[in-house]
């Protein structure tokens, strides 16, 4: 997954170690990156950066769970860095456009880059059609990442707190808010007619259960 390593970067991990790490945790890293960036291309870039950092890192791992938690923490941090860079570029671009002449703005290409879908983009397109994924994507970044770590990666709240850098109580609060929002998104609201039909079913069922005199 990682690209060519710059000559000034020294590898601290064996090829066997890296292959095992990418085979074991690659999907988890990519899924978290995808949930945070909502872009297959950005998620691939983040995954490559994360495993490059693993390759050049001297961090000793107690076990595989420690290694996975480190990878996911680096993934979350890298996504946050990418988001800050994105907003910084947007601000800079706005400043550039404000300094342009009206004729330059009119000729500025609105669709400058439309690459064809690669397999990763196609996978994202299929994933986006999933109702649960759509609901998760509507969550804020902070709620989305704890939801994935808790329900998909099955981390306890204390471990999630260490990965995302907050208190366990904050994680539990975010999970509760996420559950409320997901339930509202996935479960249609009951109308007055639904209540009337449910009451009718209950009355009918009760009359059938009542012994005849």
136 versus 54: which is more confidently predicted?
Answer: 54
Is the pLDDT at 32 greater than 60? The verdict is yes
CB 47 within 8 A of CB 30: yes
* Cα–Cα distance list, 204 to 177, 192, 208 (Å): 37, 18, 6
Mean pLDDT value across residues 74-94: 70
Query: How far is 39 from 153, CA to CA, in rounded Å?
Result: 20
Please give the average per-residue pLDDT across 111-125, as a whole number: 48
Q: pLDDT band for position 107 (50/70/90)?
A: very low
Q: What is the dihedral of CA 125, 130, 133, 137, to 10 degrees?
A: 60
Sole residue written with tokens 């290409």 = 109
Mean pLDDT across the chain? 75
Structure tokens at 181: 């929002």
Most confident of 79-83, 126-130, 146-150, 192-196: 146-150
Q: Please indicate whether residue 59 or residue 200 has the higher confidence score (pLDDT).
A: 59
Strand ranges, E, within 52-141:
none
Q: How far is CA 17 from CA 21, 30, 32, 63, in A?
A: 6, 18, 22, 13
pLDDT in tens, 174-210: 999 999 999 888 876 654 555 556 555 544 444 444 4
Query: Which value, in Å, is the radius of gyration of the alpha carbons in the chain?
Result: 24
Q: What is the pLDDT of residue 84?
A: 76
Q: If DSSP codes are grouped into helix, strand and coil, which group holds residue 146?
A: helix
Model pTM score: 0.63
The C-alpha atoms of residue 172 and residue 156 are separated, in whole angstroms, by 10
pLDDT of residue 76: 92
C-alpha distances in angstroms, 118 versus 97, 158, 164, 202?
31, 37, 30, 53
CA dihedral for 194, 139, 136, 177, sign (positive or negative): negative
CA distance linking residue 24 with residue 64, whole number of Å: 9
The pLDDT of residue 186: 84
Confidence of residue 38 (pLDDT cuts 50, 70, 90): confident
Q: What are phi and psi of 112, to 5 degrees?
A: -75, -25
Structure tokens at 16: 């066997």
Evaluate if residue 69 carries a pLDDT over 80. Answer: yes
Q: Give the confidence band of 132 by pLDDT, cuts at 50, 70, 90.
A: confident
Could you tell me what percent of the chain has a pLDDT over 70?
A: 62
Give me the torsion for CA of 121, 1, 62, 144, rounded to 10°.
Answer: -10
């Amino acid at each position: 997954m990682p690209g060519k390593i710059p000559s000034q970067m020294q590898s601290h991990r064996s090829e066997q170690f890296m292959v095992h790490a990418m085979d074991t945790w690659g999907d988890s890293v990519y899924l978290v990156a995808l949930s945070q960036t909502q872009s297959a291309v950005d998620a691939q870039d983040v995954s490559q950066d994360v495993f490059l950092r693993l390759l050049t890192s001297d961090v000793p791992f107690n076990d595989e769970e420690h290694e996975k938690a480190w990878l996911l923490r680096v993934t979350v941090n890298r996504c946050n860095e990418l988001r800050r860079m994105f907003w910084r570029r947007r601000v800079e671009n706005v400043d550039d456009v404000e300094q342009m002449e009206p004729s330059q703005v009119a000729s500025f290409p609105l669709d400058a880059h439309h690459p064809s879908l690669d397999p990763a983009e196609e996978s994202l397109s299929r994933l986006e059609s999933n109702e649960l994924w759509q609901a998760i994507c509507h969550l804020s970044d902070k709620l989305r990442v704890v939801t994935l770590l808790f329900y998909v990666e099955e981390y306890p709240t204390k471990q999630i707190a260490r990965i995302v850098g907050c208190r366990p109580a904050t994680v539990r609060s975010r999970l509760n808010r996420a559950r409320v929002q997901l339930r509202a998104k996935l479960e249609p609201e009951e109308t007055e007619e639904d209540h009337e039909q449910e009451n009718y079913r209950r009355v009918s069922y009760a009359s059938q259960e009542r012994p005849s005199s």
